[in-house]
A and B are shown apart, each in its own frame.
Chain A
Amino acid sequence: MNRREALKSITALVGYSLTISATTGFLSSCGEKRAVVPEWKSVFLSQADAKAIEEMTEVIFPKTATPGAKDAQVIKYIDDLFKFIYKKEETDKFLEGLKRVSLKAADKYGKPVGGLTSEQYTELVSSYFNIPEEEFSEKRRAANKEEVPTDEIAKDEYYEYYYFTTLKSLTISGYFTSELVGEEVLDYNPVPGVYETCLEETPETRIASV
């Protein structure tokens, strides 16, 4: 039984007076082992696009002492949202941005965007973000307007910044709502049973995930 199933079955206990120690004791009695995830196939993006996007999410959120975007399967989240949630004009705009980024990468590195080294991905993605904050904000605002510029250079920038700013948002939300980060990185405390009013923070203290 994994922890979530254990939690869900707590509902069967209701009707009895449930004490805090009963709840937590019940939870910790269940050892948990993460299931091996079978190879993932995209439902919306092409496999090549998915591969390139996934590598770029890892530049935005690289693995450190904590998992990276790839570990958290942020790409799966992005692919799913594009299929079920995003409007067609939004996904089209995003993919147009990826296309333009890819063309630039091909020019610069002499290979398609799906085949770059991790250093090259880092260099490519960073070149869009490592600019002064004000300049970045301006480009982000322009990219999120409906009106498409006519000038070719401005047009590239319009789509490319739409792509990267959208990708950044999706990486943050996908990462922080993932099961891996929620259960194993952040403080997972779904049934606290008690409100602790004034704990001492340590360098290991993390925010709650739920």
Chain B
Amino acid sequence: MSEQTTFDAIVIGSGISGGWAAKELCESGLKTLVLERGRMVEHVKDYPTAMMDPWDFEHGGYISEEEKATQLVQRRTGQARDVAAKHFFVNDIDHPYNEDKKFNWMRGYHVGGRSLTWGRQTYRWSDIDFEANKNDGHGVDWPIRYKDIDPWYSLVEKYIGVQGSKEDLPQLPDGEFTEPFPMNCVEEHCKEKLEEAYPDRNLINCRSAHVTGENAPEGRSQCQLRSRCRRGCPYGGYFSSNSSTLPAAEKTGNFTLRMFSIVHSIIYDDETGMAKGVKVIDQETKEELTFYSKVIFCNASTVGSTAILLNSKSERFPNGMGNDSGELGHNMMDHTILGGANTRIDGFEDKYTRGKKPGHLYLPKFKNIGGSEKGKNFVRGYGYQGGASRRAVPREYASNAIGGEYKDGMMKFGDWRFGITCFGEILPDHRNKMYLDYDKKDGWGLPTVTFDCELRENEINMANDGREEARKMCNAITGRDDAKTSDNTNKYAFGHGIHEMGTARMGRDPKTSVLNGNNQIHAVPNVYVTDGACMTSAACVNPSITYMALTARAASHAISELKKGTFS
């Protein structure tokens, strides 16, 4: 039997947004092909390290020099330095790219993509974020507002499971939360002290895509407090495509998943003024294949989707599909993670915790939010992730201590520490870009991606302010002045936040944006881009929930357009 080549819908990519597109399209009755460039990762079965303890790893968990050499870029952010998760990150020799300026491009080429290894922090945007471009003139105005996405946030939250507490904050709208992870006694103490010193700031429970409370989503169970999320969770304790949306899509009988399918380009049809299909290179055989559909969802990741569009050239689109504005590949954003502060907390020396929370606290932004304090020398804002924990007595590898007492001392708890790390917004800037290098092709004959992005004054000023405020807040909690700041500015490169965004932005005007308010390419309405590429600005919170909500919203739009016959 020959392979089926015609479908109602094609979804490129099976990560956090592709999984949602697949689920929504399949559940509406559309025969949907999901193209995944890498291998299968089946929920539970393909999490080889999930139940391994340190002593179960060969060579004490150390990675040999030969193996390290295959992931030199993936190791930059620490992600692939962990022997327990490195198999979810690409081989950098097989998947090269170029850096006009240093760029940390962290990737997982397999079913589920980075939904397996994501940070799981889940924060809604507010109108402060959706209106930011309009208000300060950076980038272009978002074509949507909070009210347009609010119901879709709810739909996604209810389905994926988000633990958190309701706080009624204008800059961080509440959602459909399940029981929050409890704060430990020192976190409660820090919250009290901090909010006493700064009544307009809030130290709250983090919000994350972990299952808590009585009712687990179908096929999943409660978070077991292991903090081994990045290995894949056999309990389905956190949300991933693999544990959730892909099985839901499969259940409909409308779902076809094709692995090892590298998308070369989207094919434009001059007669209809729409896309008619997708050209694919089989990763294993290098055979060229074509698949056809009425609608296409591009969810290959910010960089992946943008590279596909840039390579989708035709007479109508000589500079890449949908690139009438010249903005395709531009306005790259990320989040800065340039440091924070931490301090010792006294008075709880007889208390300890048991179990491992996979997420602790969040401190939402407090500057540049309407009537609040203004940033002295920056626009937009930052928030912090952090928490308090009691660590073991330090091991002092370098000291001259030896002996039984020294050994047994290290089995005890040491100081409590509280710390917060600043996540800052990066402005959309046309100069921050990616483009394709046709002189350097990869192993499948595709042009490689080159990055040319850097932090500018606003980001640096904001991060400096965030570090200083973190120090002051730590000192306000302790009443001492010995908080330590950490400064990663010299180690940071664009991409380090692993929140690449913005290279096919949404907008109101086709002259200055790639996508419209429904995530359709302005000039090719049956192509939807709903991963991070669509983002018009970056806010300072983790973006995945917004990709998922926009995807569900766009899928609903596409389904109704198909019913109306718009794409036939």
Q: Does A94 contact B (CB under 8 A)?
A: no
**Residue numbers in A under 8 Å from B224 (CB-CB):** 18, 23, 191-193
Q: Does A154 contact B (CB under 8 A)?
A: no
Q: Does B236 contact A (CB under 8 A)?
A: yes
Q: Does A145 contact B (CB under 8 A)?
A: no
Give the residue name and chain of the B residue nearest to A139 (CB): B400
Find out whether the CB atom of B407 lies under 8 angstroms from the CB atom of A182.
no
Residues of chain A in range 1-33 having any CB-CB distance to chain B below 8 Å: 4, 7-8, 10-11, 14-20, 23
Query: How distant is the Cα of A193 from the Cα of B397 in the complex, in angstroms?
Result: 33
Find out whether the CB atom of B64 lies under 8 angstroms from the CB atom of A85.
yes
Scan B389-415; emit 1 where CB is below 8 A from any A CB, else 0: 000100101111111110110111100
Residues of chain A in range 136-157 having any CB-CB distance to chain B below 8 Å: 136-137, 140
Q: Does A60 contact B (CB under 8 A)?
A: yes
Q: A174-B60, A177-B54 are in contact. Are A194 and B225 (CB under 8 A)?
A: yes
Q: Does B74 contact A (CB under 8 A)?
A: no
Which of A11, A14, A87, A189 has most B Cβ within 10 Å? A14
Query: How distant is the Cα of A129 from the Cα of B352 in the complex, in angstroms?
Result: 33
Q: A4-B53, A64-B408 are in contact. Are A131 and B400 (CB under 8 A)?
A: yes
**Residue numbers in A under 8 Å from B356 (CB-CB):** 192, 195, 208
B291 → A minimal CB distance (Å): 32
Q: Does A48 contact B (CB under 8 A)?
A: no
Find out whether the CB atom of B185 lies under 8 angstroms from the CB atom of A84.
no
Find out whether the CB atom of A168 lies under 8 angstroms from the CB atom of B402.
yes
Q: Does B235 contact A (CB under 8 A)?
A: yes
Interface size class, chain B: 35 or more
Scan B353-386; emit 1 where CB is below 8 A from any A CB, else 0: 1111100000000000000000000000000000
The contact of B221 among A16, A130, A201, by CB within 8 Å, is: A16
Query: How distant is the Cα of A126 from the Cα of B54 in the complex, in angstroms?
Result: 30
**Residue numbers in B under 8 Å from A4 (CB-CB):** 51, 53, 56
Q: Does B170 contact A (CB under 8 A)?
A: no
Q: A66-B411, A131-B400 are in contact. Are A198 and B185 (CB under 8 A)?
A: yes
Find out whether the CB atom of B354 lies under 8 angstroms from the CB atom of A80.
no
Interface size class, chain A: 35 or more
**Residue numbers in B under 8 Å from A196 (CB-CB):** 353-355
Query: How distant is the Cα of A77 from the Cα of B398 in the complex, in angstroms?
Result: 20
Scan B49-67; emit 1 where CB is below 8 A from any A CB, else 0: 0110111101111111100
Find out whether the CB atom of A210 lies under 8 angstroms from the CB atom of B404.
no
Scan A163-190; emit 1 where CB is below 8 A from any B CB, else 0: 0010011001111111100110111011
Query: How distant is the Cα of A177 from the Cα of B410 in the complex, in angstroms?
Result: 13
Query: How distant is the Cα of A64 from the Cα of B403 in the complex, in angstroms?
Result: 9
Query: How distant is the Cα of A186 from the Cα of B53 in the complex, in angstroms?
Result: 13
B224 → A minimal CB distance (Å): 5
Residues of chain A in range 61-102 having any CB-CB distance to chain B below 8 Å: 61-66, 68, 77, 80-81, 84-85, 87
Q: A125-B402, A198-B185, A205-B413 are in contact. Are A62 and B226 (CB under 8 A)?
A: no
**Residue numbers in B under 8 Å from A172 (CB-CB):** 395, 397, 410
Q: Does A199 contact B (CB under 8 A)?
A: yes
Find out whether the CB atom of B404 lies under 8 angstroms from the CB atom of A197.
no
Residues of chain B in range 222-269 having any CB-CB distance to chain A below 8 Å: 222, 224-226, 234-236
Q: Does B137 contact A (CB under 8 A)?
A: no
**Residue numbers in B under 8 Å from A129 (CB-CB):** 400-402
A114 → B minimal CB distance (Å): 21
Give the residue name and chain of the A residue nearest to B398 (CB): A140
Find out whether the CB atom of B354 lies under 8 angstroms from the CB atom of A192.
yes
**Residue numbers in B under 8 Å from A136 (CB-CB):** 399-400
B89 → A minimal CB distance (Å): 20
Q: Does A53 contact B (CB under 8 A)?
A: no
Q: Does A206 contact B (CB under 8 A)?
A: yes
**Residue numbers in A under 8 Å from B219 (CB-CB):** 15
Residues of chain B in range 19-57 having any CB-CB distance to chain A below 8 Å: 44, 47, 50-51, 53-56
Find out whether the CB atom of B411 lies under 8 angstroms from the CB atom of A206.
yes
**Residue numbers in A under 8 Å from B355 (CB-CB):** 189, 192-196
The contact of A200 among B350, B395, B399, by CB within 8 Å, is: B350
Which of A65, A195, A210 has most B Cβ within 10 Å? A195
The contact of B410 among A165, A176, A189, A210, by CB within 8 Å, is: A176
Give the residue name and chain of the B residue nearest to A197 (CB): B184
Q: A4-B56, A77-B60, A196-B353 are in contact. Are A207 and B404 (CB under 8 A)?
A: no
Q: Does B351 contact A (CB under 8 A)?
A: yes
Q: Does B182 contact A (CB under 8 A)?
A: yes
Find out whether the CB atom of B404 lies under 8 angstroms from the CB atom of A18.
no
B518 → A minimal CB distance (Å): 36
Find out whether the CB atom of A182 lies under 8 angstroms from the CB atom of B225.
no
Find out whether the CB atom of A165 lies under 8 angstroms from the CB atom of B235.
no
Q: Does A39 contact B (CB under 8 A)?
A: no
16 A-B pairs in the complex with CB atoms less than 8 angstroms apart: A8-B51, A11-B50, A11-B234, A17-B216, A18-B235, A61-B402, A68-B404, A85-B62, A129-B401, A195-B181, A196-B354, A197-B183, A197-B185, A199-B353, A201-B413, A206-B411
User: A66-B408, A206-B411 provided; 11 other pairs, C-beta below 8 A?
Assistant: A11-B51, A66-B407, A84-B62, A84-B64, A125-B402, A192-B226, A192-B356, A194-B225, A195-B355, A199-B353, A201-B349
